[in-house]
Amino acid sequence: MDQVRENLFEGHNRPRNPGAPLDPAWFESVGVNTSAVERRAETLATRRSVKKEYQAAWLVKALTCIDLTTLAGDDTPERVRRLCAKARRPLSDDLLVALGMVDAPPTVGAVCLYPTMVAPAVRALEGSGIPVASVATGFPAGLTPIKQRLEEIRYAVGEGAREIDIVITRAHVLGRDWTALFDEVAAMREACGPAHLKAILGTGDLKTLRNVYAASIVAMQAGADFIKTSTGREEVNATLPVSLVMVRALRDYRERTGVDIGFKPAGGLRAARDALAWLILMKEELGLPWMQSELFRIGASGLVTDIERQLDHYAAGRYSAAHRHAMA
Amino acid sequence: MALITDILRTMDYGPSPESSEHVLAWLERRKAGFGLFINGRFTRPGALFDVFNPATGGRIAGATQGSPADIDAAVGAARKAQPKWAALSGHERAKQLYALARHVQKRERFLSVLETIDNGKPIRESRDIDIPLVARHFYHHAGWASLIDSEFPGTRPVGVCGQIIPWNFPLLMLAWKIAPALAAGNTVVLKPAEFTPLTALAFAEICVEAGLPAGVVNIVTGDGATGAALVAHAGVDKIAFTGSTEVGRAIRRATAGTGKKLSLELGGKSPFVVFEDADLDSAVEGVVDAIWFNQGQVCCAGSRLLAAEGIADAMYAKLRARMAKLRVGDPLDKSTDVGAIVAPAQLERIERLMREGAEEGLEFWRADDALPNRGCFYPPTLVTGVEPASILAREEIFGPVLVATTFRTSEEGVTLANNTRYGLAASVWTENVSRALEVAAHIKAGVVWINSTNLFDAASGFGGYRESGFGREGGREGLNEYRAVEAPKGKPYQPATAPLIASPGLIPSAETAGGLDRTAKLYVGGKQTRPDSGYSYAILDPKGYEVGLAGLGNRKDIRNEVEAAAKASSWGAATAHNRAQVLYYVAENLSARAGEFAQRLRTMTGVSARTAEAEVETSVRRAFFYAGYADKFDGAVHATRSRFVTLAMNEPWGVMGIVCPNEAPLLALVSLVMPAVAMGNCVVVVPSSCHPLSGTDLYSVIDTSDVPAGVVNIVTGEANALAATLAEHDGVDAVWYVGDPSGAKTVEALSAGNLKSTWVASAALDWSRAEGREFLRRAVQVKNIWAPYGE
C-alpha cells in the first residue's frame, strides 16, 4: 500500500502517551512572551510559500488531517451519514485523476461528532479505516458533574468512538489549581480506555499564553495524546499565536519524555490558506511527522469545500464555485 | 513536474520564485548604462562601472562613475534649488513628500524585486520590511514638512546636504536620508553605494514621475572617490553618512573646521542579552531576526549573544535546531530566509575574519545544508564559547555569524554588553520588566529592544553611542540634524597671539588691595591640586599688568581630571531634583559673592562696574535657569508600532570636555557648564586662557554648594592645547569648544579617534542670550527603548 495511504490509516499505531507525574516546574520555569510570540506567528506564513503542484499536494495533505466535524443541535443520523460519505471521498473522480491519486484516494483524518451520533457514523464508515471521534465531558463548557462527564466518555467509547475530544475545566487553569486539572484529565484518560484522548484547552477562555502553555503541559502530564485549542464555541478559537505556544509546549514535553504528542487546532480555520499556514507552522516548529494525521488534525467543517475549490483551480486552471462540489 | 504523491511524502516547499519580468525589462531598456540624476534630468552615461546580481554573479547594469565635476554640477543644482524649495510653504513641501510616498507605494513590488536583484536580500525582506518602511518614512516626513515651522521655531534649513549611504538597505537608507532633509527645507546630493545603485536610480525616476522640482534631489553614483568629492565640496552644508566606522572617521577628519554639520551612523557589535527567565523559543526567533536578517549585514545586528549560564546550553540547542530550518538560497524565492552576501569582497572579508577566529581555536556550528553552487553565499554560523578578547567578539563581521558568550549575573551581562567600542543597539530578553528596564538603562546603546529586535519606525530616533556615530535618524530627533539654529553673527574669534608667560620677573604687578597672596591651582575631583607641570602663568589685565597666577595645565592634568570625572558618574543617576538643588545652591553662593566676582572681572578684563555686575547677575540667573530645567527636559514616547512603547530617553553623555572662550569669562563658563551638569554630565572645564581667574574663583563656590567631587573639574592653561588633549581622549564622550577657528578644526579632527560628539563655535556669541533647549539637547544623547505590551 502507498505510504501516504498507510499514514492515513495508522492514526492509532503510535504509542500512547503514558503521562508523567504532575510537575509545575515544567511550565513555571518557561517564559512565554506574548508580543514576541505574536511577531513570530505573524511572519510564519509570510516566510514560506508553496505554489503549483506543491500547493496542491499540501492541500491534499491538509485534507487528510481534517477532523470533519458536525456539532450542531440539529444533527441527525442521516446528516451524519452524508458527512461520512464526504469523509470517505472528499475529492471528485475528476480531481483524483488530475492529481494522479486515483490509486490512493485520500480520506479525511476522522469525523468528529456528539456521542449520540457515534453509532451511525461508525456504521457509515465501516471498512474505511476512518476513526470516529466524539466530543465528551459536557462539551463545550465542561461544567457538568465529573461523574456524568466520565460516564459520557465511557458511553462514546462503548458506541465505537476511537478518539475522545474532552474539554478541561477552564476554572482550574484560571484558579491555578494544577492538581485538580491533572486529576480531572487523568481520570478522563482512564475512562477513555483504548480510545485516544484529545484535550481541548478552550484557549480563548484561558486568555493568556502562559495559561495556554501551563494547561498544555498539565494535560500532557495527565496523559493526553493530543492537545487541541478550542471547542469552536469560545469567543476566540484557534489562532496562530496560541498554536505556536502549544506546539512549543509539546516539543518541550517530547524533549523531557521522548513521547510524541499530537496537535489539533479547531475553530476558525475555514480557508485553504489557513490550512497551509498551520502546516507551515507544523513543519517549521516540529517537522514532517507532525504533518501527518497521526500527530496533526484540523478541526473544521467548511474547510474541505475551500480546499476542493483550490484543487479544482489547480486542476482546471480556472476558479471554481462552491456549489460545483459535493457538500458534506 | 513533481508528482503529488511524491510531494506528499517529503512535504517540501518546492520552488516559489517571485517574477522579475518587469524589472528585467526595465533594466533591458537601460542597458546602455545609467547616467547621473542632476537638476531633474539624467545625464548621458559616462565612465561606467558594473553592477552585479550577487546571487548569480551576473552583470545586471552599468552605472556612471561620478567625477568631482559631476559632484560640482550636482551641488550647484542643489544650491540653486534650495532657496526656492525652502521658501515653499510647509504644506507645499508636504504635498511633494506625500506624492513621493504614494509613488513609492505604487511601485512597491517593482522596487522590492529590483532591490533583491541588486543587493541579494530575500524578497520576503525587501517586500515586507524594506520597501514598506520606505513608504512609511516618506509619509511620516510629509507630516513633518507641514509642521516644521511650528515645531522647530528659531531654526532654518541647513542648506545643501551631501548624503552617502550604504549597500545593506539601499532604498531604505535613501529614504532615511532624503525624507527628513526635504521635509526640513534642504536639498540633497545623494551618493548610493557602488554595489547597489539601482533602487536610488529608480527613485530618481520616481522623483520625475512625482513632479519633484528639479535640483531638490540629485543622485550621483560612484565609488569612494565620488563620496570623498562630495564630502570635500565647499558648497555642501551638511554631510550625513551611514557606513563603516573607518570611513566615518575619515569623513570626520575631512569635514573638521569646515563648519559642515555632520551626522554619522556607523558600525556596531550589538549585544543580544538573554536572561534565565526569558522566553527562550522567542529569543531564538529574535536571534533569527537579529543576525540572520539581511545575511547579518545590518549595522545594528544583534551579533553577540550573551546568554545566562543557567540557560546557555538550552539556548544553544534550540538555536541549532532552528538553524537547521533556515533556508539559504535564491533571494527571489519566497521561501528563502538567507540570501546572498552583497559582493565577493564582503564574502572574502567574512571568510578572513572567520579564518582568524578558527586560528584562535574557536569552533563553528552550521547546519549541513549545501549552499548554492554559484553566487555569493555564506552559511548561518554559530560560534560558542567566544572570549571577549576574541577577534570575532570585537570586530564587526557583517555576515550571518553569531558569537556567543555566557554570563553569571545581571551586572556581568551588562558589563559584557558594554565591553565594546560600539554602542548602536542592544536586545534584552527577560520576562521581568524591572530587570528589563534596569538593563536597558545601563547598556550604552542608542536603541534598546526589550524582548524584540531590529524594529524600526520613522517616528523613532535611530543612531549610536560611542564609535557607532552620533546624530539620530527618524522622528523629531532626526530632524534636528537637518535644521540649523541661527548662526552667531559676531566676528570670528582670533587665535591667541602671544604665548602664556610662565616664568617670573617679566611682568609688573597691578596694584592690589594687599592681603594674602592667592595662587589658583587646578580643581580635580573636588580638590585644589598643583598642576603637573609645576608651572604657573601670569594673568594680565588689559594694560599688561599681572593680576594673578594660574596653573599651567598639561596633558597629565587632563588625564587626571577625566579620571576624576569618570569616577563621579553617579551624578547622572542622581535624581534630577537633586541636581536642580545643587545648581540652585551654586547660584545662591555665587550671588552671595557677586561683588567679589564683579570686582575680579573688572580687574582682569577692564570692563566697567556695570558690565561686570551685569555679567555676574546673568550668570546667577543662568544657573537658576538650568537648575529649573534639570527636571524638565523630558524625553518622549514615540508613536511607533501598536502595542509598543518607544521611550526616547535623554541620557547624559558621561564625561564632557568644555573649552571656554576669552570673552565673558564667568558668564560663558557658567552658560556652558550649567546645562551640561544639569543633564547629569561630569565635566572637565578649560576656562578662558587669558581670564581664567573667574573660573578658579568658582572652586570655593563649588565646594560650598554640595557639588559632588569630580562633577566639575577645572584645568587652566593653553586652551587649544588642552582642547586637543580632551578631543583625542578616548574617555571623553563629548566636547564643546568655543574659541578660534583653528582650535575648532583641531577639536573636530581629533575627535575622530573615538568619534565623540563635538559642538564647536568659533564666532563670538551674545552670551547674555546664550541659553535654551539647544544647549540641553547638545548635553544629552537619546536612547530609544522599545518595550512591548502583552500579557
- B583-619 pLDDT, tens digit each: 999 999 999 999 999 999 999 999 999 999 999 999 9
Q: Which of B523, B691, B726 is nearest to B606 (CA)?
A: B691
pLDDT at residue B368, rounded to an integer: 85
B358 has a pLDDT exceeding 70: yes
**A236 at B interface, C-beta within 8 A:** no
Give the range among B127-136, B368-377, B461-470, B628-637 with minimum mean pLDDT. B368-377
**A1 at B interface, C-beta within 8 A:** no
d(CA B445, CA B784): 9
Determine the residue of chain B that is closest to A280 in CA distance: B13
Tell me how close the Cα of B479 comes to any Cα of chain A, in angstroms: 30
Of the candidates B14, B325, B452, the beta carbon closest to that of A284 is on: B325
pLDDT at residue B163, rounded to an integer: 98
Classify residue A321: in a domain, yes or no. Answer: no
Task: State mean pLDDT over A168-192.
Answer: 98
d(CA B458, CA B460): 6
Cβ neighbour number for residue B761 with a 10 Å cutoff: 19
pLDDT at residue A9, rounded to an integer: 34
CA dihedral A20, A25, A28, A32 (to 10 degrees): -60
d(CA A294, CA A290): 8
Q: Which of B767, B537, B570 is nearest to B673 (CA)?
A: B767
pLDDT at residue A5, rounded to an integer: 35
- Residues of chain A with Cβ-Cβ distance to B16 below 8 Å are 49-51, 54
Classify residue A58: in a domain, yes or no. Answer: yes
**In this complex, do B279 and A33 lie within 8 Å of one another by their Cβ atoms?**
yes
d(CA B255, CA B151): 29
B782 has a pLDDT exceeding 70: yes
Of the candidates B13, B124, B277, the beta carbon closest to that of A50 is on: B13
For residue A81, name the pLDDT band (cuts at 50, 70, 90): very high
**In this complex, do B279 and A31 lie within 8 Å of one another by their Cβ atoms?**
yes
**In this complex, do B277 and A31 lie within 8 Å of one another by their Cβ atoms?**
yes
Amino acid letter, B501: I
Tell me how close the Cα of A74 comes to any Cα of chain B, in angstroms: 37
- Residues of chain A with Cβ-Cβ distance to B12 below 8 Å are 54
**B642 at A interface, C-beta within 8 A:** no
Amino acid letter, B27: L
**In this complex, do A40 and B277 lie within 8 Å of one another by their Cβ atoms?**
no
pLDDT tens-digit readout, B154-186: 999 999 999 999 999 999 999 999 999 999 999
**In this complex, do A209 and B791 lie within 8 Å of one another by their Cβ atoms?**
yes
What's the CATH code, domain B522-635+652-788? 3.40.605.10
Tell me how close the Cα of A155 comes to any Cα of chain B, in angstroms: 37
Of B207, B299, B300, B682, the active-site residue reads: B299
Show Cβ contacts of residue B759 under 8 Å, excluding neighbours closer than 6 positions: B734, B735, B736, B737, B778
pLDDT tens-digit readout, B99-151: 999 999 999 999 999 999 999 999 999 999 999 999 999 999 999 999 999 99
d(CA B691, CA B708): 26
d(CA B641, CA B751): 36
pLDDT at residue B791, rounded to an integer: 81
Mean pLDDT of chain B: 96
Q: Provide the pairing of β-strand A298-300 with B364-365.
A: unpaired
Classify residue A97: in a domain, yes or no. Answer: yes
**Rounded percentage of chain B residues whose pLDDT exceeds 70:** 99
Of A264, A274, A306, A312, the active-site residue reads: A264
Task: State mean pLDDT over A123-150.
Answer: 97
pLDDT tens-digit readout, A239-288: 999 999 999 999 999 999 999 999 999 999 999 999 999 999 999 999 99
CATH assignment of the domain containing A300: 3.20.20.70
**DSSP structural state of residue B19:** P
Angle at the Cα of A300 (from A109 to A292), degrees rounded to 5? Answer: 30
B487 has a pLDDT exceeding 80: no
**In this complex, do B7 and A53 lie within 8 Å of one another by their Cβ atoms?**
yes
**In this complex, do B334 and A49 lie within 8 Å of one another by their Cβ atoms?**
yes
Q: pTM of the predicted model, to two decimals?
A: 0.96
Number of domains into which chain A is organized: 1
Of the candidates B1, B128, B789, the beta carbon closest to that of A35 is on: B789
- Taking only residues 11 to 50 of chain B, the set having a beta carbon closer than 8 angstroms to any beta carbon of chain A reads 11-16
Whether the bond between B45 and the residue before it is cis, its omega within 30 degrees of 0, is: no
Tell me how close the Cα of B248 comes to any Cα of chain A, in angstroms: 34
B276 given a catalytic annotation: no
- Residues of chain B with Cβ-Cβ distance to A314 below 8 Å are none
**In this complex, do B4 and A56 lie within 8 Å of one another by their Cβ atoms?**
yes
Strand ranges of the sheet holding B261-265, from the earlier edge strand across to the other edge: B41-42, B37-38, B217-219, B187-191, B160-164, B238-242, B261-265, B469-470
Task: State mean pLDDT over B46-65.
Answer: 98
Determine the residue of chain A that is closest to B12 in CA distance: A54
d(CA B162, CA B218): 10
Determine the residue of chain A that is closest to B310 in CA distance: A29
State residue B61 phi and psi, 5-degree precision.
-170, 165
B507 has a pLDDT exceeding 80: no
**In this complex, do A35 and B790 lie within 8 Å of one another by their Cβ atoms?**
yes
- Taking only residues 327 to 386 of chain B, the set having a beta carbon closer than 8 angstroms to any beta carbon of chain A reads 334-335, 337
Where do the domains of chain B lie? 20-266, 270-463, 522-635+652-788
pLDDT at residue A10, rounded to an integer: 40
Classify residue A94: in a domain, yes or no. Answer: yes
Strand ranges of the sheet holding B302-308, from the earlier edge strand across to the other edge: B364-365, B381-383, B401-407, B302-308, B270-274, B425-429, B447-450, B780-788, B644-652, B636-638
pLDDT at residue A312, rounded to an integer: 93
B514 has a pLDDT exceeding 80: no
Best A4, A32, A33 residue to mutate vs chain B (most B CBs within 10 Å): A33
Interface size, chain A vs chain B, as Cβ–Cβ contacts under 8 Å: 114
- Taking only residues 95 to 124 of chain A, the set having a beta carbon closer than 8 angstroms to any beta carbon of chain B reads 99-101, 104
Mark B195-231 as b/e (b = at least 16 C-beta within 10 Å). Answer: bbbbbbbbbbebbeebebbebbbbbbbbeeebbbbbb
Best A47, A310, A311 residue to mutate vs chain B (most B CBs within 10 Å): A47
Determine the residue of chain A that is closest to B455 in CA distance: A39
**In this complex, do A58 and B11 lie within 8 Å of one another by their Cβ atoms?**
yes
A264 given a catalytic annotation: yes
First to last CA, chain A: 27
B300 given a catalytic annotation: no
**B325 at A interface, C-beta within 8 A:** yes
First to last CA, chain B: 47
Of the candidates A30, A100, A284, the beta carbon closest to that of B3 is on: A100
Of A67, A165, A205, A312, the active-site residue reads: A165
Q: Which CATH superfamily is domain B270-463 in?
A: Aldehyde Dehydrogenase; Chain A, domain 2 (3.40.309.10)
Determine the residue of chain B that is closest to A34 in CA distance: B790
Determine the residue of chain A that is closest to B14 in CA distance: A54
Of B18, B125, B265, B477, the active-site residue reads: B265
**Rounded percentage of chain B residues whose pLDDT exceeds 90:** 94
**In this complex, do B14 and A53 lie within 8 Å of one another by their Cβ atoms?**
yes
**B389 at A interface, C-beta within 8 A:** no
For residue B748, list its beta bridge partners.
none
B525 has a pLDDT exceeding 80: yes
Classify residue A102: in a domain, yes or no. Answer: yes
Amino acid letter, B255: T
- Can B20-266 and B522-635+652-788 be said to share one CATH topology? yes
Best B6, B10, B11 residue to mutate vs chain A (most A CBs within 10 Å): B11
Q: Which CATH superfamily is domain B20-266 in?
A: Aldehyde Dehydrogenase; Chain A, domain 1 (3.40.605.10)
pLDDT at residue B515, rounded to an integer: 58
**In this complex, do A248 and B337 lie within 8 Å of one another by their Cβ atoms?**
no
Of the candidates B5, B12, B643, the beta carbon closest to that of A104 is on: B5
- Residues of chain B with Cβ-Cβ distance to A34 below 8 Å are 788-791
Contact A296, A264 (CB under 8 A): yes
pLDDT at residue B591, rounded to an integer: 97
Amino acid letter, B765: L
Determine the residue of chain A that is closest to B122 in CA distance: A47
Tell me how close the Cα of A47 comes to any Cα of chain B, in angstroms: 6
H-helix or E-strand spanning residue A152 = helix A146-159
Has the ipTM of the complex gone over 0.85? yes
- Residues of chain B with Cβ-Cβ distance to A46 below 8 Å are 124, 128
pLDDT tens-digit readout, B705-747: 999 999 999 999 999 999 999 999 999 999 999 999 999 999 9
Classify residue A326: in a domain, yes or no. Answer: no
d(CA B60, CA B51): 6
Tell me how close the Cα of A115 comes to any Cα of chain B, in angstroms: 33
d(CA B244, CA B251): 11
- Domain of A245 in residue numbering reads as 3-11+29-316
More confident residue, B368 or B647: B647
